[in-house]
């Protein structure tokens, strides 16, 4: 196959994990098969990330923007379904790669799943009741391969009979060897030398709880003189952000994981992608789990804390967050956590995922 074609389909969410995972795979596909034509179809409002990685993309409105733009649900469904149908018909992919929702966010992929293209589903662990849902499982039956971005056996991943699978481990947009040195990263972000700097991130930024969580962190950090904060608001963030202060700097860099070595530790939501990136980079982190319909952040944060690879804040008492921040000022504790973190996510599974997909191209 001289010019194989792969379509990556990523829906919108409160974060940007769907897009990030598929971009990580697409980068590795391009490296191993440079002649491959790659196209993205997405409803993510962070579609500029796709542009920054050098891939072409078609954008449809997200469900969030549908509401704000006052499109009726029926009108929105017709537009998205027609767009997906025509893009697939025009591009004629040999392989279609879909993340998280096998039938699409509003079942817009159902007619397309019967087409002849090979279909790959990126199956990140979901809450048990969601993963075992009969409609979800019936949709999976149309796929040829499930790419599971977890170490084998770490999560319960229910698959329909006959669906092949490959366990790749976490799929990351950048590997450790692609990250900048601490000095170069601090210079790139404009961070001061000689100050303990904490990276503050709550994922893609589309969550309404961010303002409250950010307020807790800023208040707790104010009790610790000398702690410098680097706050990443996320590409989907639409709030005002923290007020300007000597202790706070807003960082806006993509992909921020290239600059993780700039930070002494982090405070982060326990979303899958950001969590795996921080662990892989060995950044000691205080994880704050948010409640999600599909993603069990509380269980993830608990497992990391129990493994000594991070700390967990339950969000019940602000003063306990100040205590956790104070603990992170101890270099010995940070070194201990870093050692466990890099063991927990030792490799980037993007290359293995790409290899499994490229096999379909012959």
- Residue 238 pLDDT: 58
pLDDT of residue 243: 57
pLDDT of 66 reads: 82
**pLDDT tops 80 at residue 211:** no
Q: What share of the chain is helix, strand, coil (3-state, %, to 5)?
A: 40, 15, 45
Mean pLDDT estimate for the chain: 90
Burial of 3 (C-beta count, 10 Å sphere; 0-12/13-18/19+): exposed
Model pLDDT, residue 290: 87
* pLDDT band (50, 70, 90) for residue 65: confident
Angle between helical axes of 210-221 and 318-328 (0-180°, round to 10) = 60
**Closest among 100, 297, 292, 275 to 207, alpha carbons compared:** 292
**What average pLDDT score do residues 34-38 get?**
97
Q: Which fold has domain 176-344?
A: Rossmann fold (3.40.50)
66: closest CA among 88, 49, 83?
83
What's the pLDDT tens digit per position in 313-329? 987 677 799 999 999 99
Q: Which pLDDT belongs to residue 189?
A: 95
CB 80 within 8 A of CB 111: no
> For 231-246, how does the pLDDT look when each residue is reduced to its tens digit (9 = 90+)?
987 655 556 566 555 5
The string of DSSP codes covering 176-195 is: GGGSPPHHHHHHHHTPPTTS
The pTM (predicted TM-score) of the whole model is 0.91
Q: How confident is the model at residue 184 (pLDDT cuts 50, 70, 90)?
A: very high
pLDDT at 208: 63
Residues 5-174+348-361, CATH architecture: 3-Layer(aba) Sandwich (3.40)
Q: List Cβ neighbours of 107 (8 Å cut-off, separation of 6 or more).
A: none
Once rounded to an integer, what is the mean pLDDT over residues 296-315?
93
- pLDDT(205) > 60: no
**Average pLDDT estimate for 99-127:** 93
> In the predicted model, is pLDDT for residue 213 greater than 90?
no
Q: Are 230 and 197 in contact (CB under 8 A)?
A: yes
Q: Where in the chain is the domain with CATH 3.40.50.2000?
A: 5-174+348-361, 176-344
């Amino acid at each position: 196959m001289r010019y194989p074609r792969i379509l990556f389909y990523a829906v919108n969410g409160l974060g940007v994990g769907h897009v990030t995972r598929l971009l990580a795979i697409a980068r590795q596909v391009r490296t191993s098969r440079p002649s491959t034509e790659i196209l993205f179809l997405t409803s993510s409002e962070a579609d500029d990330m796709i542009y920054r990685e050098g891939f072409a993309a078609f954008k449809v409105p997200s469900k969030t923007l549908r509401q704000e733009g006052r499109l009726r649900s029926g009108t929105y469904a017709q537009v998205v379904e027609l767009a997906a149908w025509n893009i697939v018909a025009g591009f004629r992919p040999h392989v279609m790669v879909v993340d998280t929702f096998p039938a699409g966010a509003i079942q817009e992929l159902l007619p397309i799943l019967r087409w002849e293209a090979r279909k790959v589903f990126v199956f990140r662990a979901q809450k048990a009741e969601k993963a075992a849902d009969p409609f979800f499982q019936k949709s999976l039956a149309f796929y040829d391969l499930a790419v599971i971005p977890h170490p084998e056996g770490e999560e319960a991943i229910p698959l329909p009979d006959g669906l092949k699978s490959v366990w790749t481990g976490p799929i990351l947009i950048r590997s450790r060897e692609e990250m900048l040195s601490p000095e170069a990263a601090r210079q790139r972000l404009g961070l001061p030398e000689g100050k303990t700097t904490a990276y503050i991130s709550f994922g893609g930024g589309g969550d309404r709880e961010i303002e409250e969580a950010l307020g807790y962190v800023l208040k707790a950090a104010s009790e610790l003189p000398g702690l410098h904060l680097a706050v990443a608001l996320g590409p989907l963030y639409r709030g005002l952000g923290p007020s300007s202060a000597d202790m706070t700097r807003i960082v806006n860099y993509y992909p921020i994981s290239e600059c993780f070595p700039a930070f002494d530790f982090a405070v982060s939501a326990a979303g899958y992608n950001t969590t795996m990136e921080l662990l892989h980079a060995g950044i000691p982190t205080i994880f704050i789990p948010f409640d999600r319909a599909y993603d069990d952040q509380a269980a993830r944060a608990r497992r990391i804390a129990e493994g000594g690879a991070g700390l967990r804040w339950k969000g019940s008492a602000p003063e306990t967050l100040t205590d956790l921040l104070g603990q992170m000022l101890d270099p010995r504790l940070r070194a201990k956590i870093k050692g466990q973190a890099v063991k927990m996510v030792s490799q980037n599974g993007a290359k293995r995922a790409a290899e499994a997909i490229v096999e379909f191209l012959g």
